[in-house]
Structure 1
């Protein structure tokens, strides 16, 4: 029988060559009498075939690395190749795809749609891009975009199509979510009591929501291309020139801002108080593109605040007037009681008058503390002087109540910025409480010092202490805890307000062995702050 074979040979000079030998038998009288054939050097051909196979393998590897499905069909709609992403999307192995048509592994409706599109592409001979719905191997619907291109054979006949499929389901979901978000935003913007705005890089308005017109009486279109200060009259700007200067400086340095309040002149000529907040907007290249924010009409809110402050001022003045008017008759009554014999009734009356006098003093202190303006009233205060003065003042009272009072650390100077009279009133209130509620024969300690550069005063008693659940409530005005037996409930509220006015903190701890320790911690001393700045 004829045969053909490839094999390698070694030439005399040591080269390895691939030869192709093809032979056939010589037949005479129906009998083989010899062999004739040809031997051809096929080395170059075999190397070319090997390179071609390698290139094809590399091409298939690259196609498989493409993260979207890619496939090739011939002119009859038969698959000739596909990549791994195609297999994964449709859940069909490559061997079941190649040599078959879409009707062999897709549902009929999908197959008809795909086959119709491919036939149109072959007929028209031009590239085609379209969206479609495809069901993946798990049965889930996906939105896809097909990119299909016809192929031509060297003789000009149709060579089928090559196509890629891009899954855009996630993009569709995001677009739907964005449309829903925009819809919600429009609903909120239309129903909100605020309005929303946007400015460009020159701080000119490019968007204002519809609520703007309802609130301020100007159409959104009327403000486009104008800045915020263009819409505020020069007279209104002059009244708050420094505030506007700081605001414009913040805008020019692209800083976010919050609760900037200014007077706005409406379309009918009236003025409204407007509060706005905004954040800077930057593009992907980090270039400033403007601001976005919201605005609120706070005219009524400010009117109510002003009315409330005026009402509180009237009430404070009334309380101060009443307390002031009561001091003189109480002092006269106390003097007259001192001229009577020390009967039990007289002693009881003296205690009552003393209690009323203390209440009036606390009421006056409470009204004064409401009017302190820290920035205008603070001076340098030595905490040691405060404690020594309080101890000197209350020493006789402590002795009378069979207690004693001491100052620890009084030899050291502890300077803070504050109001001495107010601080002495606060420490005195704490010390009087300590005298009242500590055990007889004990010592009330006024301790001062610094802990990590933080000045503090501690008022320490050795009484029954204060339950933890009451430690916040006792600072409320007119509230008396179980350990208090008299007074108007103002003393500790005055302490709390004084502490807040001095940007300080107050804490209550248990005294070792029994009792309560009130500690006022003030802001870091100036010396400590200067050391930090130098460091």
Structure 2
């Protein structure tokens, strides 16, 4: 009986010993499994984050590529527009220039370069004070300031000095141009040479003065009248013919000054001249008051 109990105790002791020995192994194995599971979850989480980052990077790169493409397209369109504007300015026969707010030349066309006798390198970035006498530069700057103050186009008559230093009468047309915020960023100007026109005007005024002197001092009756027989011009000799002053005669008609039969004859001749558009030489006799006059 004692042997049986002893055997049982030995077996229990062996089982308990095995359990004590296996328990740490089991715990270690459980921890290894849990660590492996956590590692797998971490790897899965890390892979997800990496995939999301790669996806976000791809989206960003795609958006950047799209933005770059749009910008290049816009730049191409802008360059095309600028090329058109430059070509348009170049073919304008009048000198054209444009400046910034500080009066520095940003560009010009061939006509302006020829007028100044300078190249682009000698013009761009310069101001009027670098290219002419101070008194003329002061006038140009003052009118530029007027444009920026009013923000309206300005047209005025002035003069320039050409490449030989000769004075040329011109008309300036200046107008502001604006930036994307609506602020005046500079101005553009067009120069029209009116030197020959001014010379022609002076010659015409001289011719008119000489003609007026001839008409005034001529001993011949000289007059001008319209289709209704109304006097528009008469010289002193003509006024004396009717015994009136020039002021009293101008605006009067034949019917107010001549007998009816003479008036009708004159109106008939006026109609004839308008029809054939050629000079007519006639000889007449009329009575003014008690005098008979032949002409």
After TM superposition, the score normalised by the length of structure 2 is 0.69
Question: Partner of 2:168 in structure 1?
Answer: 142
Name whichever structure is richer in strand by fraction.
1
1:178-210 deviation digits (Å, cap 9, x = unpaired):
111111011111121223222223333222223
Question: Partner of 2:129 in structure 1?
Answer: 103
- Partners in 1 of 2:89 and 2:132 — Cα distance? 22
Of 187, 192, 204 in structure 2, the residue corresponding to residue 161 of structure 1 is 187
**Is the 1:89–1:137 contact (alpha carbons within 8 Å) kept by the matching residues of 2?**
yes
**Is the 2:94–2:192 contact (alpha carbons within 8 Å) kept by the matching residues of 1?**
yes
Mean Cα displacement is larger for which, 177-186 or 244-253? 244-253
- Partners in 2 of 1:244 and 1:143 — Cα distance? 48
| 1:272 pairs with 2:293 | yes
- Partners in 2 of 1:245 and 1:67 — Cα distance? 51
| 1:67 pairs with 2:93 | yes
Q: Give the 3-state SS of the residue equivalent to 2:173 in structure 1.
A: strand
- Higher normalized contact order (CA 8 Å, seq sep 6+, divided by chain length): 2
Please report how far the alpha carbon of residue 226 of structure 1 lies from its aligned counterpart in structure 2 after TM superposition: 0.9
Please report how far the alpha carbon of residue 255 of structure 1 lies from its aligned counterpart in structure 2 after TM superposition: 3.4
Structure 2 CA distance for partners of 1:106 and 1:272, relative to 1, 3 Å = same
Question: Partner of 1:525 in structure 2?
Answer: none
Of 242, 249, 269 in structure 2, the residue corresponding to residue 222 of structure 1 is 249
Structure 2 CA distance for partners of 1:265 and 1:93, relative to 1, 3 Å = farther
**Is the 1:70–1:162 contact (alpha carbons within 8 Å) kept by the matching residues of 2?**
yes
Long gaps (5+) in structure 1: 1-36, 275-535
Structure 2 CA distance for partners of 1:232 and 1:256, relative to 1, 3 Å = farther
Please report how far the alpha carbon of residue 47 of structure 1 lies from its aligned counterpart in structure 2 after TM superposition: 3.3
1:293-347 deviation digits (Å, cap 9, x = unpaired):
xxxxxxxxxxxxxxxxxxxxxxxxxxxxxxxxxxxxxxxxxxxxxxxxxxxxxxx
Structure 2 CA distance for partners of 1:252 and 1:134, relative to 1, 3 Å = closer
- Partners in 1 of 2:97 and 2:235 — Cα distance? 50
**Is the 1:64–1:83 contact (alpha carbons within 8 Å) kept by the matching residues of 2?**
yes
**Is the 1:200–1:206 contact (alpha carbons within 8 Å) kept by the matching residues of 2?**
yes
Q: Give the 3-state SS of the residue equivalent to 1:257 in structure 2.
A: coil
Long gaps (5+) in structure 2: 1-59
After TM superposition, the structure 1 = structure 2 runs for residues 13-28 of structure 1, keeping only pairs within 5 Å, are none
**Is the 2:168–2:195 contact (alpha carbons within 8 Å) kept by the matching residues of 1?**
yes
Aligned length: 232
Structure 2 CA distance for partners of 1:54 and 1:152, relative to 1, 3 Å = closer
Structure 2 CA distance for partners of 1:51 and 1:136, relative to 1, 3 Å = same
Aligned Cα root-mean-square deviation (Å): 2.8
After TM superposition, the structure 1 = structure 2 runs for residues 392-411 of structure 1, keeping only pairs within 5 Å, are none
**Is the 2:155–2:173 contact (alpha carbons within 8 Å) kept by the matching residues of 1?**
yes
Question: Partner of 1:262 in structure 2?
Answer: 284
Q: Give the 3-state SS of the residue equivalent to 2:192 in structure 1.
A: strand
1:373-397 deviation digits (Å, cap 9, x = unpaired):
xxxxxxxxxxxxxxxxxxxxxxxxx
Higher Rg of the two aligned structures = 2
Question: Partner of 2:80 in structure 1?
Answer: 54
Structure 2 CA distance for partners of 1:88 and 1:262, relative to 1, 3 Å = same
Please report how far the alpha carbon of residue 254 of structure 1 lies from its aligned counterpart in structure 2 after TM superposition: 4.5
Question: Partner of 2:210 in structure 1?
Answer: 184
After TM superposition, the score normalised by the length of structure 1 is 0.40
**Is the 1:80–1:98 contact (alpha carbons within 8 Å) kept by the matching residues of 2?**
yes
Question: Partner of 1:290 in structure 2?
Answer: none
- Partners in 1 of 2:235 and 2:249 — Cα distance? 12
Q: Give the 3-state SS of the residue equivalent to 2:102 in structure 1.
A: coil
Of 127, 131, 136 in structure 1, the residue corresponding to residue 157 of structure 2 is 131
After TM superposition, the structure 1 = structure 2 runs for residues 104-119 of structure 1, keeping only pairs within 5 Å, are 104-119=130-145
Q: Give the 3-state SS of the residue equivalent to 1:100 in structure 2.
A: coil
Please report how far the alpha carbon of residue 66 of structure 1 lies from its aligned counterpart in structure 2 after TM superposition: 1.5
